[in-house]
Amino acid sequence: MVHPDGFEPPTLCSEDRCSNPLSYGCITEIIISRMAILSYNNDRMKIHTKIPLKNYTTMKIGGNARFITEVRNGDEVAMVCRNAKKQKLPIFIIGSGSNVIAKDEGFNGIVVRIRITGFEVISDDILSTTIRIGAGEQWDSVVKRIVDMQLSGIEAMSAIPGTAGATPIQNVGAYGQEIADTLQSLEAYDIENDTFVTLQDTECGFSYRNSIFRGDESGRYVITSITIKLSKNQPQPPFYESLQKYLDERNIKIFTVAVIRNAVIDIRKEKLPDPKILPNTGSFFKNAIVENWQLEDLRKVNPNIPMYDMGDGHFKVPAGWLIENVGLKGSLISGIRVYDKNALVLINESAKSYQDLANARDEIIGKVRDKFRVQIEQEPLEI
């Protein structure tokens, strides 16, 4: 029987051997009448087969996942991961799929969608409030709620698609703020050691758009919650350059978290297309990080090149500016459009495959490298 939404549920079995290693009968943690059932809130956890990953990623390309399921608490995370490990099946974790690209061959394992909710104030004093947030909470809803509480620290990260649990993975940030600035700790299931752990911010290995979760420890942890510490002080200038420009042009002199949030939302609406209308992953490329000598070489030919001083002898050069200045803004390459309002964004206009996207990506990277001798990198993860 085919589910109304297009899913094809696996058949139930109670045999020791089964052609579907993730069917309910093969998961033995809970057994009722010789039928294994995964449950939450009195509903059975459904494990679906042969699901097109393009339906779960905002770029809308990619092959099928062998299995896909949703988890709503830590026990379900552990149950699915233990069984997958037992069956030697690879695991890939996604939230909303807004920063993930699926390859044409699909994924010969189980994709686990995180749907763990929760928003709990765990400490509060005269200067700050610390909040624990479920990994499956939609990030912008979290930002709005915190701004409504008049707390600062993540207001410039408004309107970023995705879930809270995804933010530490690539140290998500925007307009001068990043999750590393406020994250105190996170809770995660350690697949390797079959245990739940708490990792402090200093253990996450944060750097620009990077962490241990997409580096040395990629695939080891499933984040179930994050704990962030917010300030009760209102934001103070100077702000990130483009944000400051927006405020100056409108003669905005009083700065609150709500003012900054609304400004960021306006800026992002202008620069970033809605993935529900135009398939994209937001910023497709990381901004280039260069050393001082590289910046000086670039300035010899491009004296007005924009940059952001990172304060450690490195400088951030906007990848969008680099792409625009090799003449690719608005270009169509293999069905992928370089967005005409923001060259950092790639839109799937007519691409049918991952290979189409890879062709466009590689051409863009190559032209930037050839002209500026700067290497830009893809930001989204790949299944």
DSSP, residue by residue, 279-293: -EEEE-BPPEEEEHH
- Round to whole Å and give the CA distance between 225 and 163: 11
The position carrying tokens 């990277």 is: 365
- Round to whole Å and give the CA distance between 53 and 73: 23
Catalytic residue check, 324: no
In which region does residue 13 sit, left (phi positive, over 0), alpha (psi from -120 to 50) or beta (all else)?
Answer: beta
- Round to whole Å and give the CA distance between 134 and 179: 15
CB atoms within 10 A of CB 329: 17
The position carrying tokens 């608005």 is: 330
> Which of the residues 72, 132, 209, 261 is marked catalytic?
209
What's at 225, amino acid-wise?
S
- Round to whole Å and give the CA distance between 38 and 24: 7
Structure tokens, 130: 């610390």
Burial environment of residue 324 by CB neighbours within 10 A (0 to 12, 13 to 18, 19 or more): middle
Catalytic residue check, 209: yes
- Round to whole Å and give the CA distance between 167 and 177: 12
Cα Rg, the chain, nearest whole Å: 22
Cβ atoms of 280 and 346 within 8 Å: the answer is: yes
Which of 30, 47, 162 has the alpha carbon at shortest distance from 98? 162
- SS3 call for 131: strand
Cβ atoms of 363 and 333 within 8 Å: the answer is: yes
> Which of the residues 283, 334, 337, 361 is marked catalytic?
283
Kindly list the strands in the beta sheet with 47-52, ordered across the sheet, starting from the edge strand earlier in the chain: 47-52, 64-71, 107-114, 91-94
Catalytic residue check, 242: no
The residues carrying an active-site annotation are 209, 283, 379
